[in-house]
Chain A
Amino acid sequence: MSDPASGTMDLAGEFLGRRTPMQRIQVTLHRYPYLSPLIVLVVALVIFALINPKFILPGNLSFITQQTVVIGTLAIAQTLIILTAGIDLSIGAIMVFGQMVMANLALTAASNATNFGLPPWLAITIGICASILAGAINGFLIVKLSLPPFIVTLGTLSVFTALTLILFKARTIQGPEMPDLLKVMGVAIKIGSFQLMVGVIVMLVLFAVFTYVLRMTSWGTHIYAVGDDPQAAELSGISTKRVLFSVYVVAGFITGIGAWIYIGRTGAASPNADPSINLDTITAVVIGGTSLFGGRGTLIGSLLGAFIVVVVENGLALAGLDQAYRVLAIGILVIAAVALDQWIRKVRA
């Protein structure tokens, strides 16, 4: 019958009132989670430019944006999912599936068995729908069967990869075989000696749109709430299942756009495309300051994170270092980012 924990508030107030410089940094990073990736990116750019002046030539910077575009686009989808405390290991497989659907449906070469010759816009639409469907399957398994996202997407990673190989016979479709609309994302617009790919513009537009959605709409707020504390969100009247399912569907849509960009970026559609893309997107999101435990993070952080991954790879290559060192550097960055996140989370009073 006694009053427990009396005076809790005053103690906390005193604690918050007196901050050491370290605590101030902690609180600032907590409030602006994209600050740390911004600092890392700027420092990396400066160092690499000092090591090798070629690094900041417009040609190389164009190359960096082109290298970033697919990771960056998929990182949007990955961010939405990780904000809900989920993870998508199948995102690369969905992208490959989507691009193979697009390329095969639009194929006009008469020699091919999977020759549908659909109009390119229809092929692209169906490809994006296929990605949405794949995302919906992930969402269904996670929401309806209450399976952990890690396990579900680990499974669907294999399923979608196999499906792609079974349906499309492991055949790479070369650029000349495809109509131009499929490759439009790879068209470069010249700004001086800097080349801006259409896909990069699309990626930046997607970032802008989804930053707005996350910050300024109910759905965005609910994504944070569901990732933060699903029980609290449910008791607050949010349908956590509906939010989760919709996130995987929207992620599928973004991945579909990513598939289209990928065709433009590489100029071909290969069923064996880039197996590292799954982990690269997760790396970008984590380096970007989004918490793997959900509820905290920003899209701008993920964009910076995607650039960091590419800039470090590119910069170290230009500095003459072996591929192994680049992989090592990315690994260290990921661990540092997660350690930083753990430290920042302790700010909770």
Chain B
Amino acid sequence: MSTPTLALEPLLSCRGLVKSFGHVIGLNGADLDLYPGEVLAVVGDNGAGKSTLIKCVAGALIPDTGEITLNGERREFKRTQDARLQGIETVFQTLAVSPALDIASNLYLGRELRKPGVIGKVFRMLDKKRMRTEASQHLQDLGIGTVQSITQTVETLSGGQRQAVAVARAAVFGSKLIILDEPTAALGVRESARVLQLIKDLRDRGMPVILISHNMPQVFEVADRIHVQRLGRRAAVVTPQTHTMNDVVAIMTGAMSVDEKDQALGPVRSAN
């Protein structure tokens, strides 16, 4: 199957990213392209540089060299806040939630809502009520509102519920792009299905998603294109239609290489 070429510029593009940690090389000239409205899965063996790659995009790491462009404009993210201001939201593998704070506070952590008027401006008073009602509304909208109370502290939640809070935070605030690093790793079957449905819903709303996962069936279920990372670089980009799970595993391990013309380097999905 030949890839249909659409006249689309990538929303996000990384070129030649290098990131080393002392003697360990995390990224060795990695490229990445994300086109509008698509779900891009990033797969690879442990240590292939998946998390390092998306951490560079999310602003959690600063690449040594290489460039990141968003909508054609070059961006340098010094911290996660920079990426967030550009509409890039990330669910990190560690979730980055604060256990002692309640669900609503976590959802709005770093961008709390203040009361209108003098009370908010001068006395910096938080609008806790609004944050709580909106947080519980968001959780329900996303179909992951299985928590008893929005004022529960996150440390009293199960692993799956914590994940739901982190995913909800990204889904609520992401305006350009949402990155999910192993979002289903700690989840049960039912919660995993919900997260996958959420990814599809996001895509249907036109929101591009980068999904990092080890779970091949899940990747093949939701991904438009599959970016295979190997030894700190992009080994190939394929689609679930052109390649099988075994092919992808073979590319991951280096047992198979794909000719560039057989890859899906361009967009396969028309954004509308």
Contact = CB atoms under 8 A, between A and B. Distances in A.
A8 interface: yes
Interface in B76-126: 79-81, 84, 90, 92, 94-101, 105, 109-112, 114, 124-126
A6 B188 contact: yes
Contacts of A274: none
B124 A219 contact: yes
B159 A216 contact: no
B155 A347 contact: yes
Interface string B148-180: 000001011111110000000000000000000
Interface in B182-217: 184-189, 191-192, 214-217
A238 B110 CA distance: 5
A231 B159 contact: no
B128 interface: yes
Nearest to B110: A237
Contacts of A10: 188
Q: Size range of the interface on B?
A: 35 or more
Contacts, number: 127
Interface in A202-258: 216-219, 221-222, 224-225, 227-229, 231-239
Contacts of A11: 158
Nearest to A8: B159
A237 B81 contact: yes
A85 to B, nearest CB: 11
Contact of A225 (B81, B84, B98, B214): B98
B96 A217 contact: no
B60 interface: yes
A320 interface: no
A235 B92 CA distance: 8
B48 to A, nearest CB: 15
B112 A232 contact: no
Interface of B: 60, 79-81, 84, 90, 92, 94-101, 105, 109-112, 114, 124-126, 128, 153, 155-161, 184-189, 191-192, 214-217
Given A228-B99, A237-B109, 14 more contacts: A3-B192, A4-B185, A7-B188, A7-B189, A8-B187, A9-B159, A221-B109, A228-B100, A232-B97, A233-B98, A235-B60, A235-B80, A236-B97, A236-B98
Interface of A: 1, 3-13, 16, 27, 30-31, 216-219, 221-222, 224-225, 227-229, 231-239, 295-296, 347-349
